[in-house]
Structure 1
Amino acid sequence: MTSHQLTAGICSRLNEPEHSDELLSSTPIVQILSVKRVGSTNGPNPIDRYRIIVSDGEHFLQSMLATQLNHFVDDGKINKNTICRLDKFTCNMVQEKRLLIVLAVTVLEQSTTKIGSPVGLQNPPGDAVASPATAQQTPAANALSTTSTAPAVSSSTTTTPAAVRGQGARSGRGPNIFPIEGLSPYQNNWTIRARVTNKSEIKTWSNQRGEGKLFNVTFMDESGEIRGTAFNMVADALYDKLEEGKVYFISKAKVNLAKKQFNNVANEYELGLEKNTEVEECRDSSNFPVVRYNFIDLAKLQDMAKDALCDVIAIVKEIGDATEFTSKFGKTSLKRELTVVDRSGFSVRLTLWAKNAEKFTHTDQPVVALKGVKVGDFGGRNLTMTSSSSLEVNPDIPESHALRGWFDAGGNSENFQSHTNAFSGGGAVAFNRAEMMSLEEVKVKELGGSDKTDYFSTKATVMHLKPENIAYPACPTQGCSKKVFDQHDGWRCEKCDRSFEKPEYRYASTTVTAGCASADPVSSRYMISMAVSDYSGQAWFQGFNDLGEVLFKRPANELVAIRDRDEAKFTKLVEDVTGQQFNFSCRAKQDTYNETTRTRYGVQKILPLDYAEEARHLMELLAAPWAQ
């Protein structure tokens, strides 16, 4: 028996066409009958959505969890038969179906049984009728699987639906204030109340089809974000009317599928602002939510995929001059590079463009909070602001004050490490299970077959490893580590223009010179060439020190010493690598040697299999919509 009483009749009351202020500010207790993941958004930062069925013991109602509540499902706190209190919610029509959107929730109890015998509700008067038996198979339900997603925002600074609807009703818009997460092309009459978090400059173009202009704006409410775009005359009419930081009522815009090649906001949809779009400033926005950041340490950038978006907070240690550059389209603009650091001990180059480069004139090493900046890999990990990114200087948030205190108390004198590219000078890439390819797919798609470098993730088994030249003799000069060559007068390094009596096999803790140790700490130098295969085919992978240390579980000097001392043991160690399976992150790039061009696959990261994770991945595949 449960110790909590479900709120009787709440589902039928929420299913009614109109809702009182008292109802929408209530906190009913319901039971979750089912939880189903309905897929991820596309783009560099995909976010899952969860569809739930809530019950009051008499009836059930289709619902969606706002994405900031995903952790309740991911952590196992919300599952079948869980009893919850709905602390904040809204109820809208999605393709003529009533949809409850849960914005804040408190888990009360994990029940083992279903309470009562709840049945589906008929649609409210004026709505299309659907059979309860097909409640999860209607077009509206299918539309939910592509409902927009957005980064989490603060739920502690929200306003009540009654206050929101008050001005909306007085302005003639009617009572329905939609959350951004509830928008889709299936609604016509809607109004959102949202803060402008970013507004781009007006961009112009001229081509054979004519001339034009546009600007982009990012709207945010307590449920998520969405991008809006205005063109030509509409851009002129709305640009000065929309100001960053202010809150507006927006209605009569067109909801379109997002063009992900131009749109970095994590939402399946975007708004087309048109000549009849209505924009009215909200007079009471004091308690409206501000952006909630999801900060990551600069040290973790190495684990992120190229072009992924992230939020960071850091100290500006160095500020470069604003310089002019000319784009490939012939347009002149400004660029400024900053060096930012944080308590993780890393420094990263941050690039600002256009108005952000021009406006950033701070000289006091400020704290900067960055939302939605893009991760690059040219010359090591770096960050770049895009038209959808936002930058706040010295924000009044706890993370900013803590970082300022650390830096002023001695952090400014620390030595910071830069993200350097792993292995053969290429950009490192994180393992991406969602975009894994078979070896056959890599070849069919001709990755690396052009001048640019392509990246991919795959799972493969080591079939053969070349034992010859598995490690190379390196220059002992600190910071060099280039290969040295045996000449009559010793071993010569062309880079340093010096000769040495004996070569050194270099590794992380000591240096071995012809079997004798010295205390010169330098980098290890494996050089691996191996054949790998999967169910679809075979390929040759190349890699360097990190790859060798994962394969052999020892530094290069130890393996070289074993090879020179015990040939049979060395052969056994090489054979033991054969047959092992790993997850790989690789880059594909063409090179030319002896007038022959070929595509080489370089290992950027190698990960031993985590069988628990592999099992969870298989379970997720079986639970995916395509497997049903």
Structure 2
Amino acid sequence: MAGVRLTPNAVSAALAGDTNLKPVVQVVDLRSIAVNGPPSKGPRFRAIISDGVATTPALFAAQLCDLARSGLVRRGAIVQLIEYIINTVQKDRRAMVILNMEVLVPECEIIGNPALPPESGVSNSNSMRADQFNGAPVLTTGITLSTVPRSIDNAPVLQRSTAGNSSNINPSPRDNPQVFQPTVQPSYRPAPNYRNHGTIMKNDAPARIIPISVLNPYQGRWAIKGRVTAKGEIRRFHNAKGDGKVFSFDLLDSDGGEIRATCFNALVDRFYEAVEVGKVYVVSRGNLKAAKKDYNHLNNEWEIFLENQSTVELCPDEDSSIPAQRFSFTSIDKIEDSENNAIVDVVGVVTSVNPSTTIQRKNGMETQKRTITLKDMSGRSVEVTMWGDFCNREGLQLQEMVECGTFPVLAIKAGRVNDYSGKSVGTISSSQLLMNPDLAEAHSLRQWFDCGGRDASTQSISRDFTPAASRNEIRKTVAQIKDDGLGMGDKPDWVTVKATVVFFKTDSFCYTACPNMTGDRQCNKKVTKSDSGNWVCDKCNQEFPECEYRYLLQLQIQDHSGTAWATAFQEPGEELLGCSARELYMLKENEDPRYTDILLQGLYQMYLLRLKVKEETYGDERRVKNTVAKVERIDPSAESKFLLDGFSRLTGLY
């Protein structure tokens, strides 16, 4: 076989920005560098490559490190660079990241007299660190010119053996010099001009698509191609700079690399409707920052923050090489050992679905909540809490299927583990729920469940789960609220009481509230009517032609142990009376007989009442106030299970 020679001027051409060149170069130095991260990733490798005259530092991409670990690439190896990128790591320093290469000669003496050219931007006394490529701190020593080995001869001679399939390399004798012949790569040629653009500037050329796994903050122009696997809802926030909004979406490419892209404010308006889950896009230009692992579960240390010059272009042709989704399922028994707030993928059969309820978050916002139960072949079951739109979208479908006797298989992508008194899984904005997905794990579960798994006994890892009410609730009687001194501490006590409503105060069951919206939150402060006929809010310092009506309902509750007074605001009031405060107020003002009927229908009904118990001061008097935070009608089946579980715990003591 004919010999191989190094591509002349390859280093200078590559550093000048010609990434279309596929040069033949030599590895004149190779060493491993330690990086922070999971031990399974192993060390990375840094090389000095030479074209026989000039050299440049180069970092092997993760997928090439096995070549160095196995010894296939080592000092003296001659390789052809198939794909690479050039990073400007400092103002005057550039270095190469090798994405793909072919080993031509595994080992050879050093060719020529390589030196570090000034135009390479690499100082002889300064080392290039791997964290300048990927942000991970490394342990490394300086690379100086003296560490680059040189051959005694300017042109050492090697040949490939042509015997059989052997690729042994034999040096030619000194008296029979042989020059390496260019059989693989031609000499350097300038990059082609772009037609119909005339003379272009450096950054006018379209960015080349690179794998997500090699994307890092030290690259100049880049582009990635991936499928959107998740898209979060628009979230609004308020900080020192004012009000803002943000949303994120996740991308997956054909190599399995994942990364999150985030948009703020004006970019939300620009990209939110354009980005659709399941479609493939080319994303270019953006600012890469370290991912905050408390909020970003993807296996990538970086996150893209899109900017004004960023582009997100839909690929018209479907790319079948990019999978629709990537799962890493955790069986339910392993979730029991997971840390709090861990992000997991889980798949199981839905065995029960509870009705959707409305709750109020700490920030005053209302949201929907629905709980379901999953079981799998590990002999465990887990409670899954759906939040927001999941309740009325996938949650409603699941409820209808279970009520019809169909128990679907549900795959959850990116659920968050909660470990408060047992383990449960909750949805987050980037979660995805797939019903009866076409996955091997789902098919196995379906067969297991239909062939006996339906009747298999399971143990819940959500230990205190009671389907009819909030998990981990504390049940008390009306008398125990006083007898146990609840609400007397610095923080309120939260209890659940099974009681009947026996009386409503009707003289003032609601108040006039401010309708002004700040972001997604309504003011709701009490407003008064001015002489002009408008409603005035002292907090907002504004006038409004109309006001809102919100419940401030005083009611008396009773169980077998006694009676107590409680206060119900908007959502609990609507649940108790079945209509809005405005509707009830208008019926009263118009002396409509339906007003009395509505009040009577709310009496003498048994409820599970979630109470906030806290001592408050009224004038000079201190007394305990009971506030109704949640109202649930009694589910006989769930209540029976609760009583049986309590009975089992009691009998287990003796």
Structure 1 residue 228 and structure 2 residue 217: aligned?
no
Q: Distance in 2 between matches of 1:347 and 1:53?
A: 48
Where 1:388 maps in the other structure, the secondary structure is strand
Checking the alignment, whether the CA contact within 8 Å between 1:298 and 1:346 is kept in structure 2 is yes
Q: How does 1:102-117 map to 2 (within 5 A)?
A: 102=99, 116-117=109-110
Structure 1 gap segments, 5+ residues each: 149-167, 423-449, 452-477, 483-493, 500-628
CA RMSD in angstroms, aligned pairs only? 4.9
Which residue matches 1:555?
A: none
Which residue matches 2:18?
A: 18
Q: Distance in 1 between matches of 2:104 and 2:407?
A: 46
Q: What is the one-letter code of the residue matched to 2:122?
A: A
Q: Distance in 2 between matches of 1:29 and 1:375?
A: 50
Cα–Cα, structure 1 residues 369 and 251, in superposed 2: closer, same or farther, change >3 Å? same
Which residue matches 2:275?
A: 242
Q: How does 1:162-201 map to 2 (within 5 A)?
A: 174-201=206-233
Which residue matches 1:394?
A: 436
Counterpart of 1:63 (choices 43, 59, 66) is 59
Cα–Cα, structure 1 residues 92 and 383, in superposed 2: closer, same or farther, change >3 Å? farther
Which residue matches 1:372?
A: 414
Q: CA deviation at 1:243?
A: 0.9
Q: Distance in 1 between matches of 2:370 and 2:269?
A: 28
Q: CA deviation at 1:409?
A: 2.5
Checking the alignment, whether the CA contact within 8 Å between 2:207 and 2:284 is kept in structure 1 is no
Q: Distance in 1 between matches of 2:407 and 2:103?
A: 43
Q: So what's the TM-score if we normalise by structure 2?
A: 0.50
Checking the alignment, whether the CA contact within 8 Å between 2:19 and 2:84 is kept in structure 1 is no
Q: How does 1:258-297 map to 2 (within 5 A)?
A: 258-290=291-323, 291-297=325-331
Checking the alignment, whether the CA contact within 8 Å between 2:134 and 2:217 is kept in structure 1 is no
Q: Distance in 1 between matches of 2:448 and 2:388?
A: 31
Checking the alignment, whether the CA contact within 8 Å between 2:87 and 2:220 is kept in structure 1 is no
Counterpart of 2:122 (choices 121, 125, 130) is 130
Where 1:186 maps in the other structure, the secondary structure is coil
Q: CA deviation at 1:98?
A: 3.7
Q: Distance in 1 between matches of 2:433 and 2:111?
A: 49
Counterpart of 1:218 (choices 250, 253, 266) is 250
Cα–Cα, structure 1 residues 229 and 175, in superposed 2: closer, same or farther, change >3 Å? closer
Checking the alignment, whether the CA contact within 8 Å between 1:234 and 1:275 is kept in structure 2 is yes
Which residue matches 1:537?
A: none
Where 2:430 maps in the other structure, the secondary structure is coil
Task: List per-residue Cα deviations over 1:345-371 (Å, max 9, x = no partner).
Answer: 221112222122221123243333333
Which residue matches 1:51?
A: 44
Q: Distance in 2 between matches of 1:50 and 1:372?
A: 29
Counterpart of 1:40 (choices 37, 40, 59) is 37
Which residue matches 1:100?
A: 97
Cα–Cα, structure 1 residues 93 and 318, in superposed 2: closer, same or farther, change >3 Å? same
Q: Distance in 2 between matches of 1:316 and 1:32?
A: 58
Q: Distance in 2 between matches of 1:319 and 1:407?
A: 17
Checking the alignment, whether the CA contact within 8 Å between 2:280 and 2:318 is kept in structure 1 is yes
Which residue matches 2:135?
A: 146
Task: List per-residue Cα deviations over 1:390-435 (Å, max 9, x = no partner).
Answer: 333333233332332222222222112222679xxxxxxxxxxxxx
Structure 2 gap segments, 5+ residues each: 138-193, 198-203, 465-489, 492-643
Structure 1 residue 414 and structure 2 residue 414: aligned?
no
Q: Larger Cα Rg: Structure 1 or Structure 2?
A: 2
Counterpart of 1:254 (choices 262, 265, 287) is 287
Task: List per-residue Cα deviations over 1:501-530 (Å, max 9, x = no partner).
Answer: xxxxxxxxxxxxxxxxxxxxxxxxxxxxxx
Where 1:389 maps in the other structure, the secondary structure is strand
Which residue matches 1:358?
A: 392
Higher relative contact order (CA 8 A, sep 6+): 1
Where 2:36 maps in the other structure, the secondary structure is strand
Q: Distance in 2 between matches of 1:336 and 1:294?
A: 25
Which residue matches 1:336?
A: 370
Q: Distance in 2 between matches of 1:7 and 1:317?
A: 68
Task: List per-residue Cα deviations over 1:553-597 (Å, max 9, x = no partner).
Answer: xxxxxxxxxxxxxxxxxxxxxxxxxxxxxxxxxxxxxxxxxxxxx
Cα–Cα, structure 1 residues 98 and 220, in superposed 2: closer, same or farther, change >3 Å? farther
Checking the alignment, whether the CA contact within 8 Å between 2:231 and 2:276 is kept in structure 1 is yes
Q: Distance in 2 between matches of 1:260 and 1:87?
A: 35
Q: CA deviation at 1:54?
A: 6.0
Q: CA deviation at 1:123?
A: 8.3
Q: What is the one-letter code of the residue matched to 1:398?
A: A
Q: What is the one-letter code of the residue matched to 2:215?
A: L
Checking the alignment, whether the CA contact within 8 Å between 1:307 and 1:375 is kept in structure 2 is yes
Kindly, what percent of the aligned residue pairs are identical? 28
Range with greater deviation from structure 2 (276-285 or 30-39): 30-39
Q: CA deviation at 1:186?
A: 2.5
Checking the alignment, whether the CA contact within 8 Å between 1:369 and 1:392 is kept in structure 2 is yes
Q: CA deviation at 1:276?
A: 2.8
Cα–Cα, structure 1 residues 270 and 189, in superposed 2: closer, same or farther, change >3 Å? same
Structure 1 residue 81 and structure 2 residue 81: aligned?
no
Checking the alignment, whether the CA contact within 8 Å between 1:6 and 1:30 is kept in structure 2 is no
Task: List per-residue Cα deviations over 1:2-43 (Å, max 9, x = no partner).
Answer: xxx99976995895633449x59x9x99999444331028xx
Q: Distance in 2 between matches of 1:385 and 1:120?
A: 61
Q: Distance in 2 between matches of 1:78 and 1:143?
A: 20
Q: Distance in 1 between matches of 2:341 and 2:382?
A: 15
Q: So what's the TM-score if we normalise by structure 1?
A: 0.51
Q: CA deviation at 1:212?
A: 2.2
Which residue matches 2:530?
A: none
Cα–Cα, structure 1 residues 185 and 276, in superposed 2: closer, same or farther, change >3 Å? same
How many residues are aligned here? 391
Counterpart of 1:382 (choices 402, 421, 424) is 424
Where 1:79 maps in the other structure, the secondary structure is helix
Q: What is the one-letter code of the residue matched to 2:297?
A: N
Checking the alignment, whether the CA contact within 8 Å between 1:173 and 1:191 is kept in structure 2 is no
Checking the alignment, whether the CA contact within 8 Å between 2:353 and 2:371 is kept in structure 1 is yes
